[in-house]
Every structure is written in C-alpha cells, then in structure tokens.
C-alpha cells in the first residue's frame, strides 16, 4: 500500500515585513512535514511554490534544509515541481540548489528532442511526472504542445496551473487550463497554485489542489478557507488541516459614516477582541465625510497589539474618501480614460503636462519572465528616478530635497549604497 503527502503553495519567506506572520508561515510548513514523518509516508510531493521567491532569506533556507534533511533521514523521498513563485528562468533558483544537494527530486523532465516528459520512478513503483508553473502562466502552451505518454502502472501527475473547471470565481479566467488538457491515465493529479483545497475527478481519478499550508497574502488569511495539505493512502485522498495560530476578523463598513464615527466603531470593536493570535482588520466603503487619513489607525493597531502577543493586519484598500465629484469618461480604452482623468484633475503646479501619464506607464509595467522581485523593484525605481531627473534637468520641475529612504525597502538602500541599479 502506498502512502504519500501532497503539499503545495507553502510560500516560505512570505510576509517579509511582518515577522510574526512569516514565522507562522514557516511553522505551518514544519508542522505539515512533522505530520508526514509521524504518519511514515513513503514520499512527499510538493506541487510548486515551496518558496515565496527564487532566492529566499537564508534563515528560511536553513530551516527548510534542516527539515528536508530530517525527511530524508527518515527514508522519505521528496518530489517537487517549480511554482510560479520559485521559478527563475535566468538563474538557478533555490529549488535547483536543493535538488543538487539531493534533498529532493525535481520531477519535471522535458525531453526537448522528443517533445515529451520523462518519468521518475519511486521505490514503491509509483511513476511521478510533472510540469512546472511559470510566470505569466506560460505553461498553458506546454499542455497544448507536449505529447504526453500514457503512464505504466501506478502514477501521479504533478502540476502548478489553475484548472478551468475547478477555479474559484475570484481567480481570473485568463490562461486557465481545461481539465481535459491534463494528460490521461494517471491515478492522482497533484495540483498547486490555487490557495484553497479543491477536489475534482478526471476519468474517475482525483484531481486535487492541496491549497496552501498557511498563505502568502492578506487575502489568503482573510478568506475563511482551510489551511493544510493532503495525505493519500491507497489512492484515497484525505485533507489534513494545519493550524498554527488562531485568527479573528474585525470588519467595519464605513459606507455612509464620517471618519470620526468610523474611528469610534473601530475602537469599540478593537476593545471587544479578547483573543486571537492574528487580528485581521478590514475597513471598507465610502466615507460620508472626511478621508481615511482622518482616522487614527496607528492607535487602533496599538490598542489591539497592546498585549504584545497579537499580530494585527489592517486592510483599508477599499476604504474611500468622501468624493467631491466624479470624473466622467465614456471611452473604453484604458489609455484614453487615464488621459482624460489627468486632464480633468489637472497636474500639480510646476510639472509638465504628461508627467503623470508617463509615470503611470512606468509604474504599471509588470514583472518580466525570470525577473527577480529585487531586479523588478530596482528597474521600476531606476526608470521612475531617471524620468524625474530628466525633467528636472529640463528645468520644468522644481528641485526638491531628497526624500528620506524607507528602511523597509531594501531595494532603495541597495541603490543608494551601490550607486545605481544593477542593470
Ligand atoms: Mn502559490
């Protein structure tokens, strides 16, 4: 009888700016792995996004390596595919390093000359074949191109892509893969990418997204979904929850209230929170009077964090200020709408007409395939800065004192200390 674990989307190293959450995140992975060792699984499958980025912090790497070593010493094999987060086209990612250290085996083996995937055979006789997730979901093309072999005997297909028929409504339709694109004939389809546990069937065989062991964003935490992984015994999947902390939600709907009323409501709700390791505060809606800046969020967070044990996460992205008037635009093209908004809102004194538009174009550019977060941040910073500097040279923008650096943003510090982006 074969027993294995299917884990995905651990995103180790996520929540870099919230140390407590970063700790819960890695703790959840450690818990999941300990459970696998206890249950004496034959092997563990990691269906992508083990790390939050291709080069995570060394303390995270160290803890992961220790744990994978423990797994290996317990005689358990680990198989992995890349996720969209731990993949790096340009350079080796940590996944490659861990594979070189024989801590796990990458099961993505594309034989270009034959346009097919080769299979890894586990000691138990189970064949494991995988396809990685990539940035911008380029893997969709693979499913259309590759000629998949029909597997021999017991087999698992590992993937990291959203499946059309299973995808929750809040995940964009773009680039989803239909369930029919998954290769035929496998006994278990181990999916990653969607951070919620989901189950479906393909020709009577389980297609499973294990969900995330903890989550990598506020949205993940806020969604009241389960966190954990799957244990599969005799080809029957069973969900194993992982709970490393308790969460409490505070929701304030600001619609129709003034800023000071919302502040009072928040204080009242904050005072009523008596437990929870993590408190998720969400304030949403349009204020009747005032703007979000009128609300003293810092004091409310202090109030909630006053017992020292709790982590507070505040989301006020959908809290809107009282609007004086709306800009009306009929055009549908994004650029036209943006141009109109800039025209109607006017430009700050001393700046040239299209500065806003030009800045927006830079800030809107997306991360490129294979680009690291640091490189991406550096590129955007560099381009923004050179645009502003060029305008300064043209004498169209007043000289302003250098803005103080935000120590939370390492990319800025890097630029300052090394005098320019690495590009
Ligand atoms: Mn993920």
What integer pLDDT is reported at residue 189 of this predicted model? Answer: 97
Q: What is the mean pLDDT of residues 29-35?
A: 97
Distance from Cα 221 to the centre of ligand 1, integer Å? 13
416 has pLDDT over 60: no
**HSE of 219, CA atoms in CB hemisphere, 13 A:** 7
Q: What is the mean pLDDT of residues 119-123?
A: 93
The count of other CB atoms within 10 Å of the CB of residue 321 is: 14
229 has pLDDT over 90: yes
Q: Please tell me the distance from the alpha carbon of residue 214 to that of residue 195, in angstroms, as a whole number.
A: 9
303 has pLDDT over 90: no
Contact 196, 168 (CB under 8 A): yes
Please tell me which residue, 143 or 419, carries the higher pLDDT value. Answer: 143
Q: What is the mean pLDDT of residues 4-33?
A: 94
139 has pLDDT over 60: no
The H or E element that residue 159 is part of is strand 155-160
Q: Is 45 exposed, middle or buried (0-12, 13-18, 19+ CB in 10 A)?
A: buried
The H or E element that residue 241 is part of is strand 236-241
pLDDT tens digits along 241-282? 999 998 889 999 999 899 999 999 998 888 888 888 889 999
- The residues that bridge with 233 in the sheet, in sequence order, are 3, 236
What integer pLDDT is reported at residue 354 of this predicted model? Answer: 75
Q: Please tell me the distance from the alpha carbon of residue 92 to that of residue 385, in angstroms, as a whole number.
A: 30
- Mean pLDDT taken over the chain: 83
Residue 153 Rama label (left phi>0; alpha psi -120 to 50; beta) = left
Distance from Cα 11 to the centre of ligand 1, integer Å? 7
328 has pLDDT over 70: no
Enumerate residues 6+ apart whose C-beta is below 8 A from 123. Answer: 42, 77
What integer pLDDT is reported at residue 184 of this predicted model? Answer: 94
Enumerate residues 6+ apart whose C-beta is below 8 A from 97. Answer: none
What integer pLDDT is reported at residue 87 of this predicted model? Answer: 65
pLDDT tens digits along 74-103? 999 999 988 877 666 666 778 888 999 999
Distance from Cα 52 to the centre of ligand 1, integer Å? 8
Contact 175, 134 (CB under 8 A): no
Choose, from 6, 11, 85, 193, the residue flagged as catalytic: 85
What integer pLDDT is reported at residue 35 of this predicted model? Answer: 97
Nearest to 270 by CA among 239, 249, 253, 293: 249
Q: What is the mean pLDDT of residues 317-345?
A: 74
pLDDT confidence tier of residue 408, bands split at 50, 70 and 90: very low
pLDDT confidence tier of residue 65, bands split at 50, 70 and 90: very high
Nearest to 223 by CA among 203, 202, 194, 252: 194
Q: What is the mean pLDDT of residues 37-66?
A: 94
Collapsing DSSP to helix, strand or coil, 61 comes out as helix
Distance from Cα 113 to the centre of ligand 1, integer Å? 31
- Quick one: fold of 3-241? Purple Acid Phosphatase; chain A, domain 2 (3.60.21)
Q: What is the mean pLDDT of residues 385-401?
A: 60
Distance from Cα 213 to the centre of ligand 1, integer Å? 10
What integer pLDDT is reported at residue 324 of this predicted model? Answer: 63
Nearest to 148 by CA among 104, 206, 189: 189
Residues of the chain with CATH 3.60.21.10: 3-241
Collapsing DSSP to helix, strand or coil, 226 comes out as coil
Please tell me which residue, 310 or 157, carries the higher pLDDT value. Answer: 157
Please tell me which residue, 197 or 354, carries the higher pLDDT value. Answer: 197
Contact 242, 28 (CB under 8 A): yes
Percentage of the residues of the chain whose pLDDT score is greater than 90: 41
What integer pLDDT is reported at residue 33 of this predicted model? Answer: 97
Residue 268 to residues 3, 250, 290, Cα–Cα distance (Å): 50, 11, 20
Distance from Cα 8 to the centre of ligand 1, integer Å? 8
Q: Please tell me the distance from the alpha carbon of residue 391 to that of residue 277, in angstroms, as a whole number.
A: 49
Enumerate residues 6+ apart whose C-beta is below 8 A from 82. Answer: 48, 93, 95, 106, 108, 132, 133, 134, 160
What integer pLDDT is reported at residue 322 of this predicted model? Answer: 82
Distance from Cα 154 to the centre of ligand 1, integer Å? 27
52 flagged as catalytic = no
* Phi and psi angles of residue 157, each rounded to the nearest 5 degrees, phi first: -110, 125
Distance from Cα 83 to the centre of ligand 1, integer Å? 7
Please tell me which residue, 200 or 321, carries the higher pLDDT value. Answer: 200
Distance from Cα 138 to the centre of ligand 1, integer Å? 15
């Amino acid at each position: 009888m074969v027993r294995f674990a299917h884990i995905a989307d651990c995103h180790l190293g996520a929540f870099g700016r919230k140390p407590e959450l970063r700790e819960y995140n890695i703790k959840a992975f450690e818990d999941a792995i300990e459970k696998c060792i206890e249950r004496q699984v034959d092997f563990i499958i990691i269906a992508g996004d083990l790390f939050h980025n291709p080069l995570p912090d060394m303390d995270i790497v160290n803890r992961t390596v220790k744990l994978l070593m423990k797994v290996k010493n317990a005689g358990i094999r680990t198989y992995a595919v890349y996720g969209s987060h731990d993949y790096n086209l340009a350079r080796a990612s940590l996944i490659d390093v861990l594979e070189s250290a024989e801590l796990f085996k990458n099961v993505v083996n594309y034989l270009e000359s034959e346009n097919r995937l080769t299979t890894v055979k586990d000691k138990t006789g189970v064949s494991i074949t995988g396809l990685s997730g990539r940035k911008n979901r380029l893997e969709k093309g693979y499913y259309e191109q590759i000629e998949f072999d029909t597997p021999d005997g017991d087999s698992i297909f590992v993937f990291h892509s959203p499946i059309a028929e299973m995808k929750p409504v809040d995940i964009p339709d773009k680039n989803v893969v239909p369930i029919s694109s998954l290769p035929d004939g496998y006994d278990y389809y181990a999916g990653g990418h969607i951070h919620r546990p989901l189950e479906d069937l393909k020709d009577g065989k389980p297609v499973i997204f294990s969900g995330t062991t903890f989550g990598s964003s506020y949205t993940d935490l806020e969604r009241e979904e389960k966190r954990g992984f799957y244990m599969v015994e005799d080809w029957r999947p069973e969900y194993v929850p992982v709970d490393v902390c308790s969460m409490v939600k505070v929701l304030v709907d600001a619609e129709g209230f003034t800023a000071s009323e919302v502040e009072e409501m928040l204080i009242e709700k904050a005072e009523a929170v008596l437990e929870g390791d993590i408190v998720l505060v969400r304030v949403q809606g349009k204020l009747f009077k005032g703007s979000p800046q009128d609300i003293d969020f810092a004091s409310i967070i202090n109030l909630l964090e006053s017992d020292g044990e709790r982590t507070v996460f505040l989301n006020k992205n959908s809290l809107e200020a009282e609007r004086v008037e709306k800009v009306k635009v009929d055009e549908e093209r994004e650029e036209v709408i943006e141009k109109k908004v800039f025209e109607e809102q006017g430009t700050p004194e001393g700046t040239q007409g299209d500065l806003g538009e030009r800045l927006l174009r830079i800030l809107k550019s997306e991360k490129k395939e294979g680009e690291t977060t640091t490189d991406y941040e550096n590129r955007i910073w560099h381009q923004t800065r050179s645009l502003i500097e060029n305008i300064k040279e043209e004498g169209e923008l007043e000289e302003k004192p250098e803005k103080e650096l935000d120590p939370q943003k390492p990319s800025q510090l890097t630029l300052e200390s090394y005098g320019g982006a690495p590009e």
